[in-house]
Amino acid sequence: MGMVFGKICVETPKYEMIQSSADYEIRKYPPSVAAEITYEPSEFKGDRDGGFTVLVNYIGLLGNPQNTKPEKIAMTAPVITKTPEKIAMTAPVVTKAGGEGEEGKKLVNMQFLLPAKYRNAEEAPRPVDDRVVIREEGERKYGVVKFGGGAAEEVVKKKVDSLKKSLERDGYKVTGEFLLARYNPTWSLPTFRTNEVMIPVE
């Protein structure tokens, strides 16, 4: 019941707060291990969040884990999405949206950060589904703004534009595409959801 009202009951990533202001926070995250999938929404009947099911199957949240051990892996929050830049698919990025695949189709990258007990990619169970990639994330720094409610595209775009302006105004150099971090399951009431827009900075 708590999750319906936005209670976050799973492990979330640790970070060091570098700066906090009325407009944003600057956070430094330690190295971590992630499971991710990069896809065209058309693979999932146009659902931009279609990769979620594949990642959930990998960790075994709803049944037998789809990894070679097989080992159940605890769910964490947030679910991170981004749009990969136009780079080779051998070097995918976290959930973002915006890169283009074949014939100009938009790609989405979705990522689960694995529990902190997995200190490197070799320690994480190997996925059965070869669409799932295990990768190590190095230490990284983000400008972050938190917001509640739904994370519709137009809402996210406004948050990103505003955050970029604030960071550049204060002398931070933006070093990559934004990430959308969503902390609650889809059945949480929108009013109680926690979301963050994260922009990598130097």
Q: Do 145 and 180 share a domain, yes or no?
A: yes
- Is 115 within the bounds of a domain? yes
Supply the pLDDT for residue 5.
54
Supply the pLDDT for residue 95.
46
Supply the pLDDT for residue 189.
84
Q: Do 108 and 150 share a domain, yes or no?
A: no
- Is 165 within the bounds of a domain? yes
Supply the pLDDT for residue 89.
37
- Is 97 within the bounds of a domain? no
* Residues sharing a CB contact under 8 Å with residue 153, sequence separation 6 or more, in sequence order: none
Q: Do 112 and 150 share a domain, yes or no?
A: no
- Is 92 within the bounds of a domain? no
* Residues sharing a CB contact under 8 Å with residue 25, sequence separation 6 or more, in sequence order: 17, 18, 19, 143, 144, 145, 146
Q: Do 132 and 147 share a domain, yes or no?
A: no
- Is 48 within the bounds of a domain? yes
Q: Which domain holds residue 182?
A: 1-30+139-201
Tell me the C-alpha distance between 162 and 61, whole Å. Answer: 36
Q: Do 115 and 182 share a domain, yes or no?
A: no
Given the structure tokens 């669409």, which residue do they identify?
131
Q: Do 70 and 45 share a domain, yes or no?
A: yes
For residue 60, what is the domain's CATH number? 3.20.80.10
* Residues sharing a CB contact under 8 Å with residue 169, sequence separation 6 or more, in sequence order: none
Q: Do 55 and 127 share a domain, yes or no?
A: yes
Q: Do 72 and 149 share a domain, yes or no?
A: no
Q: Do 125 and 38 share a domain, yes or no?
A: yes
Q: Which residues in the chain come in under a pLDDT of 50? A: 1-2, 4, 86-96, 102-103
Q: Do 23 and 37 share a domain, yes or no?
A: no
Locate the DSSP E strands across the chain. Answer: 16-20, 25-29, 32-39, 79-82, 97-100, 106-113, 133-137, 140-148, 179-182, 194-200
Structural domains in the chain (count): 2
Supply the pLDDT for residue 14.
94
Q: Do 149 and 180 share a domain, yes or no?
A: yes
- Is 96 within the bounds of a domain? no
Q: In Å, what is the CA distance from 71 to each residue of 59, 84, 152, 180?
A: 7, 29, 34, 28
- Is 123 within the bounds of a domain? yes
- Is 169 within the bounds of a domain? yes
Q: Do 76 and 19 share a domain, yes or no?
A: no
Supply the pLDDT for residue 106.
84
